[in-house]
């Protein structure tokens, strides 16, 4: 009752700020637990990291997310608890678009470069933003708006621009949208080379996300 009384005196913006604070405190607690568990990897080499795993836990990987299913609950906005050159592969699928660009993304990609051994690879996928924009402009006609209407976007998205807005924001979950040029540039800024677009890999990627996902890989030379 006291909590309801206090909340009733706050405006919507203040309530939202408190919810954000509560979420960040929870994230901090989970991150600290994950950092303690990460000590087991202190002397490990040849690690394969999987960022933003959710429930999609991959055997042979160190699965990282703010999820109970993950091997490590880490806040990936912070420094990674792995030694320089200790990893052979860093992988993420539909994760980078959920963190702030450019500073947080650049910090994470810089950490990926640090922990990868020479010859190690970053491999990942993000929503392909070139596709909906070309569809909106009439330069492509292969069904983006029909696909998202029936599979991914909520019922309130009825106009093409409502779908475009949801692609960019996804209810506040998405922080940035990528095309190949932008993701390639972000990787190269942190030292990666041989950045290329790749096909869906059924041994690595979720095939249900194949259509509409931009997959790339890059090498630490």
26-62: per-residue pLDDT in tens? 999 999 999 999 999 999 999 999 999 999 999 999 9
pLDDT in tens, 147-201: 999 999 999 999 999 999 999 999 999 999 999 999 999 999 999 999 999 999 9
**What is the value of pTM for the model shown?**
0.92
CATH superfamily of 2-128+178-219: Vaccinia Virus protein VP39 (3.40.50.150)
Domain ranges across the chain: 2-128+178-219
Q: What is the pLDDT of residue 9?
A: 76
Q: What is the pLDDT of residue 209?
A: 87
Structure tokens at 110: 């810089």
> 158 to each of 43, 82, 92, how far by Cα in Å?
53, 46, 31
């Amino acid at each position: 009752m006291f909590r309801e009384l206090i909340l009733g005196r706050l405006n919507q913006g203040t309530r939202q700020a408190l919810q954000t604070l509560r979420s960040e405190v929870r994230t901090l607690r989970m991150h600290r637990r994950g950092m303690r568990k990460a000590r087991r990897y202190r002397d490990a080499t040849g690690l394969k990291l999987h960022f933003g795993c959710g429930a999609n836990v991959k055997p042979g990987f160190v699965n990282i997310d703010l999820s109970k299913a993950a091997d490590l609950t880490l806040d990936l906005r912070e420094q990674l608890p792995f030694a320089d050159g200790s990893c052979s592969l860093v992988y993420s699928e539909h994760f980078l678009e959920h963190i702030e660009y450019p500073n947080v993304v650049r910090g994470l990609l810089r950490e990926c470069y640090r922990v990868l051994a020479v010859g190690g690879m970053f491999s990942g996928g993000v929503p392909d933003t070139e596709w909906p924009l070309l569809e909106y402009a009439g330069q492509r006609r292969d069904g983006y708006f029909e696909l998202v209407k029936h599979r991914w976007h909520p019922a309130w998205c009825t106009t093409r621009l409502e779908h475009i807005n949801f692609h960019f924001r996804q209810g506040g979950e998405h922080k940035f949208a990528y095309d190949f040029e932008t993701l390639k540039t972000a990787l190269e800024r942190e030292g990666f080379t041989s950045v290329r677009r790749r096909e869906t890999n059924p041994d690595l990627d979720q095939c249900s996300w194949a259509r509409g996902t931009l997959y790339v890989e890059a090498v630490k030379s």
